[in-house]
Amino acid sequence: MASAFPDPSASFGARVARRLRDELVIWLTTIGADGTPQPNPVWFLVEDDTVLVYNRDDALRLKHIRRNPRVALNLDTDGEGEDVIVLTGTAEILDGYPLATEIKAYMDKYDAAARQISGDPDAFAAEYHVALRVRIDRVRGF
């Protein structure tokens, strides 16, 4: 199966890869019970053709995903409405998935932020222990 991500040797693909690697926050949009889009800023890690996000167990987005797993993810623009990147896919809540502290690449990216938010990475991982994976099926932008 071909990757949904653009070829990283092309200009757009290189930009997508760089931003997904370097950005700390992506907006995860789920659909609420009343059909209204519900965007939330989240930390994330790209793994192959998926995006991994950790959540508190009381996050409403988890209820939204159980009802409708189709989601969108987007990065902030450059402040002038340029450098738009939007990913769409299907989210799955991962029961029994390793905690954030057990995912080296995640902790390489968020160790300092986890310490700032929760005092230490273990406290962060205990609070944000529900993993979800978004299988990306489309990437677009300009």
40: domain CATH number is 2.30.110.10
* Residue 3, domain member (yes or no): no
* Residue 66, domain member (yes or no): yes
Q: Range of 29's domain?
A: 11-98+130-141
pLDDT score at 2: 74
* Number of Cβ within a 10 Å radius of residue 132: 23
* Residue 104, domain member (yes or no): no
pLDDT score at 1: 64
* Residue 123, domain member (yes or no): no
The DSSP secondary-structure symbol of 7 reads P
Give CA angle at 80 (75, 84), nearest 5°: 30
Place of tokens 């760089």: 18
* Residue 79, domain member (yes or no): yes
Number of domains in the chain: 1
User: Average pLDDT over the chain, rounded to whole?
Assistant: 95
pLDDT score at 75: 95
At 3, is the pLDDT very low, low, confident or very high (cuts 50, 70, 90)? confident
pLDDT in tens, 7-53: 999 999 999 999 999 999 999 999 999 999 999 999 999 998 999 99
At 57, is the pLDDT very low, low, confident or very high (cuts 50, 70, 90)? very high
Average pLDDT for residues 62-90, to the nearest whole number? 94
Looking at residue 94, its amino acid is L
* Residue 62, domain member (yes or no): yes
High-pLDDT (> 70) share of the chain, %: 99
At 82, is the pLDDT very low, low, confident or very high (cuts 50, 70, 90)? confident
* Residue 109, domain member (yes or no): no
* Residue 23, domain member (yes or no): yes
CA distances from 133 to 31, 45, 64, 104 (A): 16, 10, 14, 16
